[in-house]
Amino acid sequence: MMNRFVIFCAGLCLMAPALSQASTEVMNDENTALAETFVDEIALGGGKPPVTCDGLQLDDAQKAALKQAKWEYKKQKNTTDAAVKNAWMDYSHTLKSMTSTKDDGMTAAVGVKDAMTAAGMAKADFELKVFYDILKPEQREPALKCVMKMMKQKMMEKLKRMCSKLPPESKP
């Protein structure tokens, strides 16, 4: 019985750093917030928007507000991402400790949950600010359609890159 427990704990200790890295990556590049994609590629002119984005007609005040909102979000995101990584490190450290208790582990796990919740709420707050405080009601639906189209294009590009790396015999 003790042998299984030791193996289980060892497995968790080995997985915790990987989970820590994965948890911060989930909230990063490939899973960019809808509003962040919109701000970067449409409002700030960082990309080539699809035809579905033509009718948005953002005024200068909206563009300035979007730029400010993105800056504030990026600052907050740096903090929340660091908090998530630190919470996972604390959790891993607790599991590795020979003197920690189940209560210590639960406290560390709650720390991870709280940090990830804070990161998710920061992302949601940013999206809500963009779509409800900055965009006009008549701009919301076209903006969302535009962003969804852009995200679909990005996913297709990523899929093509992934498929291009496959050996010739395994390509469909």
**pLDDT per residue over 109-157, tens digit each?**
999 999 999 999 998 899 899 889 999 999 988 888 888 887 888 788 8
Predicted confidence at residue 134, as pLDDT, reads 93
- Are 66 and 46 in contact by the 8 Å Cβ rule? The answer is no
CA-CA distances (angstroms) from residue 70 to 65, 116, 156, 172?
A: 9, 20, 25, 40
Predicted local distance difference test score (pLDDT) of residue 78:
94
Identify the pLDDT of residue 50. 57
Map residue 111 onto helix, strand or coil.
helix
Q: What distances in angstroms separate CA 57 from CA 16, 33, 45, 143, one per listed residue?
A: 47, 21, 13, 10
- Low-confidence residues of the chain: pLDDT under 70: 1-35, 37-38, 40-52, 54, 170-172
Query: Is the pTM higher than 0.75?
Result: no
What pLDDT was estimated at residue 112?
A: 97
